[in-house]
Amino acid sequence: DQQVKQNSPSLSVQEGRISILNCDYTNSMFDYFLWYKKYPAEGPTFLISISSIKDKNEDGRFTVFLNKSAKHLSLHIVPSQPGDSAVYFCAASVSETSGSRLTFGEGTQLTVNP
Amino acid sequence: KAGVTQTPRYLIKTRGQQVTLSCSPISGHRSVSWYQQTPGQGLQFLFEYFSETQRNKGNFPGRFSGRQFSNSRSEMNVSTLELGDSALYLCASSLASSKNIQYFGAGTRLSVL
């Protein structure tokens, strides 16, 4: 049972344009969401997070949007840069019961072309 | 501040053997979690340790075990290795509470032949 899904295995955008990565979840108990990016041969690096009490969180070029009724979140990267090319994972947790346990999506390979 | 350190980075074992992987969390972090990453299953949660106690466990067989020491360093052990255990094993640490961000190490790449 895949509780967190990233339906797009890959995304290609031009440098300077917006990248939008999407994530859907099925477990309504999830109340904290994170985005990580991963380069080959490295561990995932934290990007940005959002609590279920918010619908938007912004940090520099990165903005995460949460739509609880649709059980959907998205990561916007503006403007996209070639160094953003990596695999992006969304993750979710149930803070009251699951401790630090994160449930991850399958990842989306983002390629930013110069 | 040093990041999460995992050793060794690469490991080759044969079926039936056992293996121990090590993780040193960021200084001050008391929670250590382990994840397995495979091409087919993605990143899957193995277990989490906090103050030397297992706080959470994923859906893995009992061949997978772990422990945490008083200095928060953690080890995970896999006994009777199977070919399907070949994966990248990632360790993550966080301060304490469930809403703390987890910081990952570079992982240990295990190959079972």
Question: For residues A113 and B75, what is the distance between their CA atoms, to the nearest angstrom?
Answer: 41
Whether residue B108 is predicted with pLDDT greater than 70 in this model: the reply is: yes
Q: pLDDT grade, residue B109 (50/70/90)?
A: very high
A103 vs B: CB within 8 A: yes
Structure tokens at A67: 């739509």
Backbone φ and ψ of B84, nearest 5°: -70, -5
Distance (Å, rounded) from C-alpha A44 to C-alpha B81? 25
Instruction: Spell out which residues of chain A touch residue B106, defining contact as CB-CB under 8 Å.
Output: 41-43
Terminal-to-terminal C-alpha distance of chain B: 37
User: Of all helices (H) and strands (E), which one includes residue A110?
Assistant: strand A108-113
- Report whether pLDDT(A7) > 60: yes
Cα distance between residue B111 and residue B42, in whole Å: 17
Instruction: Give the tens place of pLDDT for each residue, A43-97.
Output: 999 999 999 999 999 999 999 999 999 999 999 999 999 999 999 999 999 876 6
Q: Do B55 and A105 touch (CB under 8 A)?
A: no
Beta bridge partners of A32: A51, A93
Q: How far, in Å, are B39, B75, B112 from residue B86 at the CA level?
A: 10, 17, 5
Whether residue A104 lies within 8 A of chain B, CB to CB, comes out as: yes
In the numeric block, the tokens 């199977």 are attached to: B82
List of residues 6+ apart from B67 with CB closer than 8 A: B49, B52, B74, B75
Please name the member of B6, B44, B56 whose beta carbon is closest to the beta carbon of A99: B56
Average pLDDT over residues B90-106: 85
Question: Are B33 and A102 inside 8 Å of each other by CB?
Answer: yes
Q: Please state, in angstroms and rounded to a whole number, the distance separating the CA atoms of residues A94 and A29.
A: 6
